[in-house]
Each structure stands twice: as C-alpha cells, then as structure tokens.
Structure 1
C-alpha cells in the first residue's frame, strides 16, 4: 500500500481502470475510471459486510460482473481537518489490507476530506430529491474521490 502517487504514463496500461472507493460503515460507494484513466463514473453501492474480507469479495463480484480489470484502487481516507487520521482511518487501513489481497492490486490512499459534503451540495444544486440523494451520495463521493485523484498531474 502506498500513499498517493501518479507516476504511470497514460498509455502504459490501456484498458486497465482505476477503482475509487468511498468507505462507510454501512455502505461503500464505488466509482470506475475509463480505460484511459481520465474520467471517473459512478459504478455501484455495496453494503458493508460483517468482515472486511466479505466486503472485499462483494466488491470483486461487482468488478467481475462488469468484466473490469483494475490496475489500482484509490481508497478515500477521511482525515480530520487538522490533517490527522480520523477514527475511521484505522478501520479503512485494515479494510485496505484485505481488499489488496482479494483484488490483487495496489491501493493508494487519497485524502477525502469533505467529499461527502461536496457531493451532497452538488446533488442539492442539481435539485435531486432528498430520498434519491441518499441512494446516490456514496457513489457520488467515490466518483469525486477518483476524479480528484485522476486530476493530479502525472509525472513522466
């Protein structure tokens, strides 16, 4: 597991995608990049299971159903505004270990401070009803995490 790094070149892994994850104790939002790793799109919402391995297996099932090949997972890490790890950060770190084993690909942690609030604001501005917002906020947050990661300039 590594912290944020975007050193690969655009054409290096054509067809392989990045998976964005917004981890929650009840639900997990998933987002997927396009094959060129430029645009993030909502993918699915998965219920958090009893243990991390089961949750990772549920995510793997979604990817297999869609025939997605994943190069890397971008996992949101909700740091405190001070920059310190949040209580959820420890749980996410444990989840990341199981996820890395199940998906067999590296994981990059990405500071996701306020992405849920940003997603909620975007949905309100789009006049999405409260009931519908509750259903899509997790995937919206995952999409914002992944798109923010994709926006980081790549190093040669």
Structure 2
C-alpha cells in the first residue's frame, strides 16, 4: 500500500506554533516549533496506551492537551513508510492517532515523511555523547524534532517559492 505524505506549506494555516508527533508502538515523541515556525524543539515523550479497545486513552488526552497548551495551529504526524514508500502497521497506528487528534483539536493534522528520522536522531545523539541507554528516554522526542524541523524547512521553502 503506497501512502503519500502531505506537502509542507500547502493549505498553510499561517503564523503560529506547530507540534510534531512521532508515533511509536510504546511511546509517542512530541516536539514543538517556536511561534515563527522556524525551529523545532523537544517537548516530551508520552507513553502509548491507545489501542483499538481503548481508543481515546491517556496518550491521546495528553496530546490534545499539548495542542491546546502550545496553541498549535498545525499538527504534523510522522508517516512511517519504508524506503520504497510503502505503508505498514505503523502507518495504521500513526493514522489512527492522527484521526483521533483531528476529532478533538481544531488545528489541521498533516502527515510528514518520517523515513530514517529515528536513525538520524540516534546518530545525532551518539555524536553528542548521549549513551544508548539514556538516549532511549528521549529518542522519540528527537525523532519528533527531526520530523517537525523537516516540515518547517519544507514549509519555508514552499512559501518562498509561491510568493
């Protein structure tokens, strides 16, 4: 199943913070942008509890709360595709969380290509001297930062090109 991410900047909601979300099987990494939507920063790692039996668990509650706290104008969820662009069970999980957030938040939910973001985040943490065991607690946040920063950069480029 081919799954396509959204294009940053298309149907842009304008100025304001964005939240980046990396949905994993055990944890959800969250990042936020500054108000100018130029720089992504880590926020927190939310334990994953949402399952089909308990669709609106504490994780979706916390994500919706973060959207309100940060007054996010856009939510960017990583779309975990393989290198050929195919989807998997992880894509279904990301879409499920995104759908539940869209129902509870006014901000539009977008999908961003997240291929290799965890690999890039892991390498960056290692080169910064973060030990592997300590890094497990924040790797999801680092991946969310990678997803969001890539989106912000793409948005900036798109908006420059369309002016």
Q: How does the TM-score come out when normalised to structure 1?
A: 0.87
Q: Find out whether 1:86 has 2:88 as its counterpart.
A: yes
Q: CA RMSD in A?
A: 1.9
Q: How does 1:50-61 map to 2 (within 5 A)?
A: 50=50, 51-54=54-57, 55-61=59-65
Q: How many angstroms apart in 2 are the aligned matches of 1:110 and 1:62? A: 19
Q: How many angstroms apart in 1 are the aligned matches of 2:7 and 2:158? A: 11
Q: 2:130 aligns with which of 128, 131, 140?
A: 128
> Which is further off, 44-53 or 114-123?
44-53
Aligned counterpart, 1:31: 31
Q: How many angstroms apart in 1 are the aligned matches of 2:135 and 2:158? A: 33
Number of matched pairs: 150
Is the CA contact (8 Å cut-off) linking 2:29 and 2:140 kept in structure 1? yes
> Which is further off, 52-61 or 38-47?
52-61
Q: Which runs of 5+ in 1 are unaligned?
A: none
Is the CA contact (8 Å cut-off) linking 1:9 and 1:154 kept in structure 2? no
Q: Which runs of 5+ in 2 are unaligned?
A: none
The 1:32/1:95 distance shift into structure 2, 3 A limit, reads same
Runs of 4 or more, structure 1, over 4 Å off, are none
